[in-house]
Amino acid sequence: MKQKILSGVAAIAVCAPAAGWAHAAAQDETHSHIDDEIIVTGSPIAHPEHESIIAASVLNEDDLASRGEASIGELLRREPGISSTFFGPAASRPVIRGLSGDRVSVLDAGIGSIDASSVSDDHAVAVEPATAKRIEIVRGAATLYYGSSAAGGVVNVFDGRIPDAVPKNGISGALRTSIASVDESVEAAGGGDIHLGKFAGSDLVFHLDGFYRNTDDYEIPGFARSDAQRAADALAPGPVAPAISGVVENSDLETKGGSAGASLIFDDGFIGFSGKLVRSNYAVPGAEEEGVRIDLTQDRFDIMGEYDGRFLIFETAKLRIGYADYVHRELEGAEIGTTFRNEGYEGRLELIEREFGGFRGASGVQFKHRDFEAIGDEAFTPPNITDQIGVFTVREYEKDNWHFQLSGRYEHTDTNAGSVGLSRTFDAFSISGGVGVEPAENIFLGLNILRTERAPAAEELFSDGPHLATNAFEQGDPALGKEIARGLDATVHTELGGVTLTVNGFYTDYKDFIALIPNGAFDDGLPVFQFVARDAIYKGFETEAEADLFSLGAFDVSGRAQVDFVRATFKNGGGDIPRIPPLRSILGLEAASPHLDLRGEVELAAAQKNLAAFELPTGAYTLVNLAATWRPGGEDHGLSFQLRADNLTNEEARLHTSFLKDVAPLPGRNVKLTVRGVF
């Protein structure tokens, strides 16, 4: 612990000089509330957040820096409608409206993360939250724009490693470091852009960033195994698992990496290139074998460009291409148990048309190639190659206070598992239509109707082997067909008298919803879970309200409240769908001033009693979080110190969305100090 504290102090010392450069930081870079964020993820035609027909939201750089979580799932877990798979601190993917895995796309500035995170919950996402500058979230089907893997939603992470603008005063960036008590963690991250001068009549801008994170096993308030799990263990034949308390064993991690990029920025756009590497070694809690770890590497290269000069009928062209070589090895002590490899590339080209008589449009093409291989004891999916190409178009029309949108996508997918002599081809068509209206100033109503088709993932088709991360023998079904969703999304956004209110509701009827269901059999000593197609219903809502309450001296006091709920069942009396989040609410107060911000938050999750077969109930919990942020130079300077206390009451909390909920609760009381400099 002493060595880690010294490392943290050294990292803080590195950040301190940033205060001298911080005079260039603008006021809007030190506050998290932005009234009119532009959404680019929901449609190629960008819209302000409050005028989006689909449910979408934005987290900016200050929001992200104040949270500082080790995984994308945990970073976003408190957002409306989002939970986490929580397979330990390192491996947590977002769960959007109860959907996860291949139905939720985690994008790297518009294209896929090119890793193995959707294959299994114990596989970390190779998109690093420590260097993220902005995250856009689309709740509900984004299949039309990003393909079958976005059938449930999109998390689009922008880290700025390919610069798209010349930095003010020739240089800009941020440095951040933190230490925390619950896992004795040390984290440092930083990066920036520098203007190198003119080249061929354009501005040459260079980007560099890096990050490092090291933690021990994290502490918990009680037993690692839940009361329900220990009761079940006592009734099961064979030896009883030890009752470990106070810590989740085998939950430490070390992650490091960085990227470099450069762009030529001209009057009508930019073109840039970047290289990124990620190295992570993290433990897998709850594994049957002791000491299971994952050693992950990814090398990635990207090209991105945009041209905003008018040509033909178009006003903007956007191009993004990425290639990555991803490998992770599952270590059982000193031995390699299974090696997962994913080499792939993905690209998108979007052409946005000029407005004509209230009409606007955009069309594009997306392609991707995935060469996936698993070798070893846990190779539950045979080697397979997936090639996919999709074309899409969006048509919009605005007249007075009315907004109309019609979108369509065609997607062709080839999935081939040659080693077992299996291959499938799918042609999927998706369409949606939406209407929005502003009946009065500061009120927006939106309604979107959709019919989407999703091709099954290779794991759903070809799996046939033991998967120790989920403690199951997983069997795919090569005969699975397309999953078809018909649904309706509604949104209301209003700003009246200092109160901002957003309400989103959804109802989706699935034909042949693909789910992993136990069939009662055992193979290789594990219960058999099979991918099957059943009709299902998903419905629910999320609502969020923010209000300016009053002023007290130099402080402006505001309040925030959110509630979200999902109900998911199989049709025809088929019962509940597994791992669905319960009703949850979050209440918060914030007092903001030029030098000091104070924030308190209470998260309340109800017990989940709507259980699928073989699921154990999950208890309710209440988490209390406090934070204070001090800016010694005021809001026009970039140096800040934040002291956070999460789970202040040291409450036991378990996520029903996690495979590990009964053996690995959320961390206990945590005190975290973060120092940040913006220049």
In angstroms, the CA 230 to CA 91 distance is 25
Q: Provide the domain limits for residue 254.
A: 2-535+542-678
Asked whether the beta carbons of 114 and 346 are under 8 A apart, the reply is yes
In angstroms, what is the C-alpha Rg of the chain?
A: 24
Q: Assign residue 323 a region: left if phi > 0, alpha if psi is -120 to 50, beta otherwise?
A: beta
Give me the residues paired with residue 241 across strands.
none
Ranges of residues in the chain whose predicted pLDDT is under 50: 1-35
| Amino acid sitting at position 608 | Q
Which structure tokens are listed for 130?
């420590």
Q: How many independent structural domains does the chain possess?
A: 1
What residues have CB less than 8 Å from 196, skipping those under 6 apart? 204, 205, 206
Asked whether the beta carbons of 374 and 398 are under 8 A apart, the reply is no
What is the distance of C-alpha 358 from the center of its chain?
A: 35
Q: How deeply is 173 buried, as exposed, middle or buried, from its count of CB atoms within 10 A (0-12, 13-18, 19+)?
A: buried
Q: What is the pLDDT of residue 289?
A: 65
220, containing H or E segment: strand 219-223
Asked whether the beta carbons of 102 and 143 are under 8 A apart, the reply is no
Phi, psi of 376 (to 5 degrees): 135, -165
Domain with 399 in it: what CATH number? 2.40.170.20
Asked whether the beta carbons of 285 and 88 are under 8 A apart, the reply is yes
Which structure tokens are listed for 599?
């924030």
In angstroms, the CA 78 to CA 1 distance is 30
In angstroms, the CA 605 to CA 593 distance is 31
Asked whether the beta carbons of 335 and 103 are under 8 A apart, the reply is no
Asked whether the beta carbons of 132 and 109 are under 8 A apart, the reply is no
How far is CA 156 from each of CA 39, 56, 58, 76, 138, rounded to the nearest angstrom?
A: 11, 11, 10, 12, 8
Helix (H, G, I), strand (E, B) or coil at 161: coil
Which structure tokens are listed for 288?
């049957």
Which structure tokens are listed for 618?
């999950």
Find the DSSP H helices in 344-466: 458-462
